[in-house]
Amino acid sequence: MFQIEFDNQDTVVGIDLGTTNSLIARMNLTKPEIIGGIVPSIVSLKADGEVIVGDPARQELIDHPERTVYSVKRLMGRGISDVQDELKLFPFHIAEGSESVIRLLLGEKTLTPSEVSALILRQLKKNAEAELGTPVTKAVITVPAYFNDAQRQATRDAGRIAGLEVLRLVNEPTAAALAYGLDKRREGVIAVYDLGGGTFDISILKLHDGIFEVLATNGDTHLGGDDIDNRLLKIALEDIQSEWGADISHSGGAVQTLRAAVIKAKEALSFAPSAKIDFAWNGKTYQREISRDLFEGLIRDIVDRTLGPCRDCIRDAKVTPEEIDEVVLVGGSTRIPLVRSAVEVLFRARPHTELNPDEVVALGAAVQAGILAGTVENQLLLDVTPLSLGIEIYGGVVSKIIHRNSTIPASAGETFTTGIDGQTNVLIHVVQGERELAKDCRSLARFDLKGIAPMPAGMARIEVRFLIDANGILNVTARDARTGLEQSMDVKPSYGLTDEQVEAMIEASIDHAEEDFQAAQLAGARVDADAILAATSKAQRNDAWLALSDEERKAVTDAINRLQLAYHSDDHNVIRSQIEHLNEATHSLAEQMMNTAVSSALKGTKVSEQPE
């Protein structure tokens, strides 16, 4: 198994870079342990320019919310258009010119989400080094399983900025299975339900002889405890406006103080039948008691939103709920009784709740770090890519090279050819998604392979290879097999998918399966029609065309006309039928061309020199 060499003084750690809180852990002699304590994922810039992180920044969030950032994980690898709804609720501001890459404005300073996350990672690193007394330079960092390429790359960038060598990005649900020691089973199917502050993931893993394999993963990169907080916050703001006759939603300090009161009540409702929201501002007070029944009624639709991806994941894993042996709950929001009961009903099994759900991911990351360092033996972890990856070919059809839920690291390739005589350039268009046509998938990258040896259409051999590394980063290589000319690139999109796109991509592939199949068949038929029409047109300029009888030439011309009329039909069978007719009509022409070519080759050659 692959193992990484470490200097003696290095300590490899596991990090949960969370939406609400972040933690760091390491493997001791027998088990993983949290070091350095929990660090709230909050960063604030003081008036004198000092940056503060974690608990000290909590008060700044109330006193100076305009220069304090929280829940930055929801912004990682995303553009402004992706997060319009969240920005309405955040007190901090976005710098101008931040369309493709968000830049947060904190006082006079602008920071990207990766730079803000790096400050959190740097604080974790500092805390760990203070406790251990040794440098911390290498880490495994967890990410939601449904993070796309841009979001994963943004996380790696954060680690690099913080002075950490990121050895591996590991999916959070997978890390949770390791933390629970479910590898102690010899066999089993495990579902990990992870509802954190800003993201939701569901993964189904199979354990066989010490090997963890992710059978399927699904989720929503924009669903979590923050949505529950915002629901309660909105109701409280409406109550206050009604009672006080004043709208406090424009006061950052008031909103953050109210948010803290709402979160406190929400947390109390996990173990008490009722809780009180208690808020005071500018000499006025607001109190509202909320029963658990009312609370569950208010958030039931949010909890239900997590169940759809769970059902999809079960289907993709090709298992039934009865075949799932263990269910693990991860994330602070899984303390909510409604969440636990919904999971138990869906999976028909009582979920594991023994470990602190806020710590379990960091603990699992430490186990993964131990696996990479060689201190944890006899374990292997296999992750999967959540969406198919391929390239656009003739007719706008997608040729999928690495399929959805393929185990990573993964490598696969296919050989393609040219469609035009003498073609010297090929555009490689890389796409991501489940639909059959490139226009319905997400475009990731385009690049030209130039300098291809000019040859007749269909003769060139272009080898395209995809390689996804252990962190889910895609490298694409295109190579001309004849000349050895090669070009490659890492696919790093400027920003990620919106939550609607993430959820819709797989659903759309199912909803439009029949329609997409027909569209792909039609596109393929038109490509074949183009090819045979071009070949026939070229043949008509050959001497063999003149050797045909008038009747044979008329048959070919009529077949060409019928195919050209059928070309714009929406029925691929009609086009295929006319292609077959043209094939039949050109049999004599093909024979004449062969005879002409042979005669030309043998002209002037003695019988004794002819090949036997």
Percent of the chain surpassing pLDDT 70: 83
Q: How confident is the model at residue 243 (pLDDT cuts 50, 70, 90)?
A: very high
CATH number of 513-602: 1.20.1270.10
Over the stretch 473-528, which tens digit does the pLDDT of each residue have? 778 888 887 777 877 776 643 334 444 554 555 566 556 656 666 776 777 777 77
Question: What per-residue confidence (pLDDT) applies to 608?
Answer: 42
pLDDT tens digits, one per residue of 252-298: 788 889 999 999 999 999 999 999 999 999 899 999 999 999 999 99
- Least reliable range by pLDDT among 96-100, 137-141, 178-182, 486-490: 96-100
Do the Cβ atoms of 329 and 340 come closer than 8 Å?
yes
Which pLDDT band holds residue 45 (cuts at 50, 70, 90)? confident
Domain boundaries 389-494, corresponding CATH code: 2.60.34.10
CA angle, 205 then 207 then 210, to 5°: 135
Give the Cα separation of 43 and 130 in Å (integer).
Answer: 20
Domain ranges in the chain are 12-224+298-384, 225-297, 389-494, 513-602
71 has a pLDDT exceeding 60: yes
pLDDT in tens, 335-351: 999 999 999 999 999 99
pLDDT of residue 184: 64
Share of the chain above pLDDT 90, in %: 29
- Per residue in 81-99, pLDDT (tens digit) is 777 766 766 767 777 665 5
Q: What is the mean pLDDT of the chain?
A: 81
Closest CA to 113 of 146, 74, 84, 83: 74
Q: Is 549 helix (H, G, I), strand (E, B) or coil?
A: coil
Is the pLDDT higher at 590 or at 331?
A: 331
pLDDT of 2 strictly over 50: no
Burial of 213 (0-12, 13-18, 19+ CB in 10 A): middle
Which range (52-56, 272-276, 303-307, 535-539) has the least confidence? Answer: 535-539
> What digits encode the pLDDT tens for the residues 449-472?
787 878 877 777 888 888 877 666
- Minimal CA–CA distance to 177: which of 351, 306, 22, 1? 351
The residues annotated as belonging to the active site are 16, 73, 172, 194
Angle between the N-to-C axes of helices 499-511 and 292-316, in degrees from 0 to 180, rounded to the nearest 10: 50
**Is the entire prediction scored with pTM above 0.75?**
no
Q: What's the half-sphere exposure (Cβ side, CA atoms, 13 Å) at 396? A: 14
User: Average pLDDT in the 398-410 region?
Assistant: 74
What is the pLDDT at residue 513? 57
Q: In a 3-state reduction of DSSP, which class is residue 173? A: helix
pLDDT greater at residue 304 or residue 419: 304
- Options 3.40.50.150, 3.90.1300.10, 3.40.718.10, 3.90.640.10; which CATH number does 225-297 get? 3.90.640.10
Fold designation for 12-224+298-384: Nucleotidyltransferase; domain 5 (3.30.420)
pLDDT at position 509:
56
Residues 538-566 have a mean pLDDT of 82
Provide the greatest CA pair distance for the chain.
114
